[in-house]
Homo-oligomer: A and B are copies of this chain.
Amino acid sequence: MAMIIDGKAMAMGIRKEVAEKVADLKKTTGVEPKLMVVLIGEDPASTIYVKNKEKACKETGINAETIRFPAEIKEEEVVAAVKEINRQKETHGILVQLPIPKHISEEKIIEAISPEKDVDGLHPNNLGRLLKGGLPWFVSCTPMGIMEMVLSTGVEIKGKEAVVVGRSNMVGKPTALLLLARHATVTICHSRTTDLKEVCKRADILVGAVGKPELIKGDWIKKGAVVIDVGINRSEKGLVGDVDFKQAKEVAGYISPVPGGVGPMTIAMLLKNTLTSAARSAGYHLE
């Protein structure tokens, strides 16, 4: 039986730590970390995500504000608004809630964000620095959370086979690079992979980030593997991950559940990135 990687509990611990540091930052420098969220349109899921982020910020002492635009807003108006936020000294993090309406180029909006305030780590400059193994201003929150979870198991990453299922810019590719930087042998697979089961079975560390309910079965998993499930899929059974949890937990060494796994860690990492940004701007040393 696998050990459960309790993302919720880990996230709570991180949030407590962030809250303490935020309080100290305010006390010693007078700087209050501030996150500005840009929300375009009224997609119900996005609205909930944004509300959760705002709530988490507030509970940690981070000031959060959401700037809302109607779905029909013009691209250049959003770009102008983002550039205006870049200039606001009191704002340390900018996050554009994705997805955005089709008539607006996601690329253009993301590239308008100053890399130094890009707490979501999606600006090409940050992704490029990540690729180079240098120091990006920020690493995307979900991959950061995944790495914390893998590290929490104590399993050595160096020399291990890591398999990332899914090649998104927000999760799959950055996670692969982080695992590579920790010296794993990394395979990225996706919808065109010919024999996904066989590839998954090689993995000492398996990350499911493909958005297909319970795609990864128990017999796709190597005995003792660390399994991180990034999927959040609505199904008849309620929320399920990309991994068939019931089967997988019989085989894996460690497994993260859905819900209560990667999700809470992603928000915790957003808080951490926002704190980091504020601390940098205040010259405050975070140990």
Contacts and interface: CB of A to CB of B under 8 A. Distances in A.
Interface of A: 107, 123-134, 158-161, 167, 169, 173, 176-177, 180, 183, 185-190, 192-194, 199
Most buried by B among A124, A133, A161: A124
A179 B116 CA distance: 30
Most buried by B among A127, A160, A199: A127
Given A127-B128, A129-B124, A132-B127, A188 B189 contact: no
Given A131-B173, A134-B107, A194 B160 contact: yes
A26 B70 CA distance: 48
Contact of A169 (B127, B132, B186): B132
What is the interface of chain A mostly: helix, strand, loop, or mixed?
A: mixed
Nearest 7 Cβ contacts at the A-B interface: A124-B128, A128-B128, A127-B128, A183-B192, A187-B187, A185-B193, A159-B194
A179 to B, nearest CB: 10
A113 to B, nearest CB: 13
Nearest to A132: B169
B185 A185 contact: no
Contacts of A129: 124, 128
A167 B180 contact: yes
Contacts of A167: 180
A134 B173 CA distance: 13
A192 B159 contact: yes
Contacts of A125: 124-125, 128
Contact of A189 (B132, B185, B189, B192): B185
Given A124-B125, A127-B132, A129-B124, A185 B180 contact: no
Contacts of A158: 192
B194 A190 contact: no
A135 to B, nearest CB: 9
B169 A180 contact: no
A134 B128 CA distance: 12
Contacts of A190: 180, 183, 185
B131 A131 contact: yes
A199 B185 contact: yes
Given A124-B129, A185-B190, A185-B194, 14 more contacts: A107-B132, A123-B128, A124-B132, A127-B127, A127-B128, A128-B128, A128-B130, A128-B131, A131-B173, A132-B169, A180-B188, A185-B187, A186-B188, A187-B187
A158 B129 CA distance: 28
A106 to B, nearest CB: 10
